[in-house]
Each structure stands twice: as C-alpha cells, then as structure tokens.
Structure 1
Amino acid sequence: MTDARTIADLAVEVRSKNAGPFWVTMELFMRDAAGYALVADPAYLDASMVARLYGVPADTIQIFRLPALNVVKISFPRPVSQGSLRDRDIHAGQHHVPLALYPLPASAPAAG
C-alpha cells in the first residue's frame, strides 16, 4: 500500500458530465468516509481551488457535499457553450482530469 497522492487515489470514481449546453458537473465518489472528509473539507476543496483549476470565476461555482453518499458534486458554467466552434469536449467527459489529479495534502490517508 502506498500513500495517496491525488484525489483519484482516494476515489472510486471521479467523473465529469454535460449538465446542459452551458454547465459542467463533476462528481467525486469517495471510497470511504475518511476520503470524503478530506475532499469535502472547505479548507481543502473550495470554489477558489476549482476556479484556479478551470479558469472560471469562483462566484459561479456550486459545490454540493453529500456525506451520506461520500460524494462531492461541483458545477460551473462551461468555458464555451456545448457544440460551439471552440468546444473541444461536447459531452464534458474529460473535464474531470485536472480535479482527479489534484494533489492531496501530506496528511491524507493511504489509498486502500
């Protein structure tokens, strides 16, 4: 067993999806309550962190913490509308990668 280094190391799944032509939703399905507690902590994951990762204004980001399911959902406006000429991911299926690869603090629990 090695120490976890990214959010993906503590998650069952990290995914993103189209939430209509103007929004993206990402979901962090954490393996257990300890992993959920870490990523759900506003001191670790907040709108300013997501804003830095995705280049969107922090005041447009919505974060939903669902402790009963060990899930964190994040929604924000798409940088370009779905299907537009500059849209490189029409289904928003790859938007989750920067979040999944976000480093964990040194005190993070080991992946299991």
Structure 2
Amino acid sequence: MHETRTIADLALEVRSKNAGPFWVTMELFMRDAVGYTIVADPAYLNASTVARLYGIDADTVQIFRLPALHVVKISFPRPVSQGSLRDRDIHAGQHHVPLALFPLPSP
C-alpha cells in the first residue's frame, strides 16, 4: 500500500498567521532545496491551487517564493474580517492545515 505524501512531509514547518484584520499569510518552511523545488514549482502550487483549497478568488492570492531561505509565502484576504461575528479563527492559526495536507505530485 502506497501512502500519499503531503507538503507537511517535506516541511520543517507549515504555519498560518494573521496578517492584519483583512489578510491571512501562510508560510512553508521547507527542509532543503529538494523540497523547496517541488513546492515552489508554479505548475504544482499556484494561485488556482490555493483558491481551490480555500474557496477564494485566485486573483486575490499572492505567492512569494524565497529560494535562498527555502520558503514559500502565500497571502490572501481573510474570508471574514478579524474579530467579526463570523470569525472562527481570530489569529488565523489554523488556516494552514489544508495546505499542509495537500498531496505532493506523483514522482
């Protein structure tokens, strides 16, 4: 049986955080250049992928690739403003889970 590998398997850390009352930022800290190369590939991880994972408009997604640090940073507008009545994660600390569990491309 073949177990599906995810971004989390290649990362030192995948985290999300509040980036002001209207934005969420997620950071993928990859263990090495090999993992970074896989995750930073725009054919694998791009605005359309993030939009599908989070139910948002791809035009609002910003992706920053930092090869010297092996980091990919993703920002997009919060679905509801921070602290509003429908805000279920005021610190945006749990938004990273769908991204961390995203399957890696097949070898």
Q: Which TM-score band (shorter chain)?
A: over 0.9
Letter in 1 for 2:67: P
Deviation string 1:86-107 (CA, Å, 9 cap, x unpaired) is: 0000000000000000001121
Tell me if the contact between 1:4 and 1:10 (Cα under 8 Å) persists in the aligned partners: no
- Aligned residue pairs, count: 106
Structure 1: tracts of 5 or more residues without a match: 108-112
TM-score (norm 1): 0.92
- TM-fit CA distance, 1:3: 7.1
1:21-42 Cα deviation digits (max 9, x unpaired): 0000000000000000000000
Consecutive aligned runs of 4 or more in structure 1 exceeding 6 Å deviation: none
Q: 1:35-56 CA deviation, whole Å, 9 max, x = no partner?
A: 0000000000000000000011
TM superposition score normalised by structure 2? 0.96
What secondary structure, in the 3-state scheme, does the structure 1 residue paired with 2:13 have? strand
Unaligned runs of 5+ in 2: none
Query: 2:90 is aligned with what amino acid?
Result: I
Measure, in 2, the Cα distance between the counterparts of 1:3 and 1:91.
32
- Residues 74-89 of structure 1: matches in 2 within 5 Å? 74-89=74-89
Residue equivalent to 1:47: 47
